[in-house]
Structure 1
Amino acid sequence: MNIEINDVVGRLSYQCDILFRVIDIRMVNGQKTAMLYGEDYRLIADAPFHDLKKMDPRERDRITREFRNLEEQSFDLFKQDIELLKHKQEYRVTNAYREDYNYFQVPGKVLHLDGDPSYLRKCLDLYEKIGVPVKGIHCSETEMPNRIGPLIDKYRPNIIVLTGHDAYTKSKGGKGEINAYRHSKYFVEAVKEARRKSPHLDQLVIFAGACQSHFESLIHAGANFASSPSRVNIHALDPVYIVSKICFTGFKDSVNVWDVIRNTLTGEKGLGGIETKGVLRTGMPFKITDDQ
């Protein structure tokens, strides 16, 4: 079979339900094997060549179109949430619209570390569309524990995202064993390093994890939100929706966990967390000086 790096394939044993990019090809136990990254899900996998099907453009377009429709639905619901949050803040600042205050808002700053440069670009595009201040850095999952501390010192974020690819491998142990997961232990160590810098859960908000990640370990390490409670796949853009909701929630208000995850593409099986305060701050006056 003529499969090369960067080809888009499906796994026959899974009815080609998920599109993957081939990122590496190697021999494993005498079999030609491809290392795969999910195109829309934050999943890493490997499969022998005999289990792969190179997807033709028509099949790719059909599957991709289904995902894009889901993304658009999720984004529309998310925009409604953000508009409601903005109206709530305006109502509060203007004393129930009785005062004509000229105010401004400062959403939280996000530091997003992603193990996949393609997903990072997609996420940065969505952050920009929503209006979230963000610094995005491509960083392999294994390097995140070493890099997160200096990056916190450099960028001083309000929110951190630690994501990329992950996968649970049944042959390596039960679902409670951290070593049965491809990258969960690195996400856990990175969260612990971040918490050494900022122990308070509301002073630094952390999202951590990818597809099938060890949710309990990430929460116990100090993450506010994480994946994946039911060890299912999560969508590439789900972390953006979660942290953006926190960015536009006032710092006096708590973010209800269900309110955060209900409009994500994955939902409560793939995402969870703990009650967390928002990070948006309102100031006044917003004045343009004569020399501007």
Structure 2
Amino acid sequence: MNIVVGALVGRLSYKCDILFRVIDIRETNGQKTAILYGEDYRLIADAPIQDLKLLPPLEKHRIAEEFHSMQEQSLELFRQDIDLLKNKQEFNLTNAYREDLSYFQMPGKVLHLDGDRNYLKKCLDMYEKIGVPVKGVHCNEKEMPEQIGSLIEKYRPDIVVITGHDAYSKAKGKKSDINAYRHSKYFVRTVREARRKIPHLDQLVIFAGACQSHFESLIHAGANFASSPGRVNIHALDPVYIVAKISFTGFKESINVWDVVRNTLTGDKGLGGLETKGVLRTGMPYSMVDDDE
């Protein structure tokens, strides 16, 4: 068995339920341990080399197709939500379609910090599909607290996403102990630094966390939405669905938490938050300048 960095593997002890990428192999006292990143889940784990199985192409394809099917279903539900929002906004703006008004809309701008370069690309592709203006930055989770302040000043976002990989380890402590989590404490520090810049929850909307993250600490630090209330794994694209709904909701409207969470891939065991106002703004008139005139 040739397990190398970059290989796609499953863990035998977990019946190969999650597809992982090997990102590092370390040797201690003759024992080789692989550091693993979930391919579709924001989970970081380690496992002895002998517990890993190289997945054959058919099995990898099956897992990928399963995830793709869930992703497409969630995206379709989300698009229905956005269409309903747009129809409601158009109805109100045109006085129940009795007035022919030209208008334009400015969705909220997103700054997305991600500890995983591959996940960041997937998220940016999805933002583009949906039409959310975004700036993506790849940043190691441990470096995020030092980077967030200058990034907020540079990009002046309406919404910030602070995510990457995380995991709870029972061997390190109780679920209430933030030191028992791989990266939660860095996410918490990053949220606090962001709130030092912009304290008000409705002037900067923050999503923070990854798989199994310490939800309560993230919310108390100042996040509007976070993972993971049930300490479960969250999908790579879950943050996109959360912030896109906020980006397309008018700034005078409050967002019901369940309305935001229900169409994500993980649901309310993996994601939760506080009632928050949207950030979309509408202007008029819509003007198309003709350069030939």
Which TM-score tier does this pair reach, normalised by the shorter chain? over 0.9
Shift of 1:14: 0.4
> Which residue of 1 is the match for residue 109 of structure 2?
109
Tell me the distance in 1 between the aligned counterparts of 2:44 and 2:96.
50
| Amino acid corresponding to residue 234 of structure 1 in structure 2 | I
Tell me the distance in 2 between the aligned counterparts of 1:281 and 1:289.
21
Shift of 1:50: 1.0
Is 2:76 the partner of 1:76?
Answer: yes
Q: 1:79-228 maps to which residues of 2 (within 5 A)?
A: 79-228=79-228
> Which residue of 1 is the match for residue 36 of structure 2?
36
Which secondary structure state, in structure 1, belongs to the residue aligned with residue 160 of structure 2? strand
Q: Identify the range of structure 1 (139-148 vs 91-100) with the bigger mean alpha-carbon deviation.
A: 91-100
| Amino acid corresponding to residue 223 of structure 1 in structure 2 | A
| Amino acid corresponding to residue 195 of structure 1 in structure 2 | R
Provide Cα deviations, 1:101-135, integer angstroms capped at 9, x if missing partner.
00000000000000000000000000000000000
Shift of 1:245: 0.1
Tell me the distance in 1 between the aligned counterparts of 2:273 and 2:19.
28
Percent of aligned positions that are identical = 76
> Which residue of 2 is the match for residue 260 of structure 1?
260
Tell me the distance in 1 between the aligned counterparts of 2:255 and 2:111.
19
TM-score by length of 1: 0.99
Q: Structure 2: 5+ residue runs without aligned partners?
A: none
Shift of 1:7: 0.3
| Amino acid corresponding to residue 219 of structure 2 in structure 1 | I
Is 2:246 the partner of 1:272?
Answer: no
Tell me the distance in 1 between the aligned counterparts of 2:37 and 2:213.
15
Q: 1:232-271 maps to which residues of 2 (within 5 A)?
A: 232-271=232-271
What RMSD in Å do the two structures reach over aligned CA positions? 0.7
Provide Cα deviations, 1:131-150, integer angstroms capped at 9, x if missing partner.
00000000000000000000
Which secondary structure state, in structure 1, belongs to the residue aligned with residue 218 of structure 2? helix
Shift of 1:28: 3.5
Tell me the distance in 2 between the aligned counterparts of 1:205 and 1:93.
25
TM-score by length of 2: 0.99
